Amino acid sequence: MLVRRRKTWHTVWRPGPLPASRTSRRSSTGSHRSPPAPPRSAARQPPEGLAAGDRAPDCDGLRHDLTTFPSRLFDLLRGPDHTLLLYADDEAQLAPYDEVVASARRGAHGQLSVWVDAAPHLRTDGLALPFVHDSLDAFRKMYGARGGEGFLIRPDGYLGLRDAPVSAPRLRAHLALTFRT
């Protein structure tokens, strides 16, 4: 309640809840309860590592085949789009990634960048998707990543979805919450 005294406005504190018209309507994008992040109990994710709604940490040691110096994860996350990181530690896990990526790009209306984060020993010859090698094994340790797992990182730097193993229908359903048609 505002009270005017001598040409100035003062706020008078009254105990109790604020009326509905005065309550805060801030977005809780960093929260585990926000709509883009499923509740921890509903999310299909392993118990170790990050959960949907956590801030995505940076890590070093990501190597491209044609560069002599390593990149950081945040270098891959630059830009206004969501980023899908697909972790693989076996060649058999790379096969479904083309279908998953095609479905995810349709669901995100093209506003999605994709990277395959390959284990240090994994051969990526002939892979059509952009990839980096986790040469220091830092991504796997920091994120608790397992082979065949997908991480969707929102443009604000928070983990939107962690899916193990990554599934095109689940990823598409999650993207439908963000990208409405």
- The tokens for 76 are 């891959």
What is the predicted pLDDT for the residue at 36? Answer: 55
* pLDDT, tens only, 79-133: 999 999 999 999 999 999 999 999 999 999 999 999 999 999 999 888 899 999 9
Q: In sequence order, what E strands does the chain have?
A: 2-5, 8-11, 62-63, 82-88, 112-118, 131-134, 149-153, 159-163
Q: Is 8's pLDDT higher than 70?
A: no
In the numeric block, which tokens belong to residue 116?
């395959």
Segment 23-36, tens digit of pLDDT: 333 334 445 555 55
Domain locations along the chain: 40-178
For residues 48-61, give the mean pLDDT: 92
In angstroms, the Cα distances linking 181 to 62, 104, 125, 170 are 35, 14, 37, 17
DSSP structure class, residue 176: H
CB-CB neighbours of 129 under 10 Å: 15
What are the tens digits of pLDDT across the range 11-21?
A: 555 555 544 44
φ/ψ of residue 176, rounded to 5: -65, -25
pLDDT tens-digit readout, 129-179: 999 999 999 999 999 999 999 999 999 999 999 999 999 999 999 999 988
C-alpha separations of 92 from 76, 97, 141 in Å? 24, 10, 21
Calpha distance 43→49 (Å, rounded): 13
Higher-confidence residue of 66 and 122: namely 122
> How much is the pTM?
0.75
CATH code assigned to 40-178: 3.40.30.10
Pairing mode of beta strands 112-118, 131-134: parallel
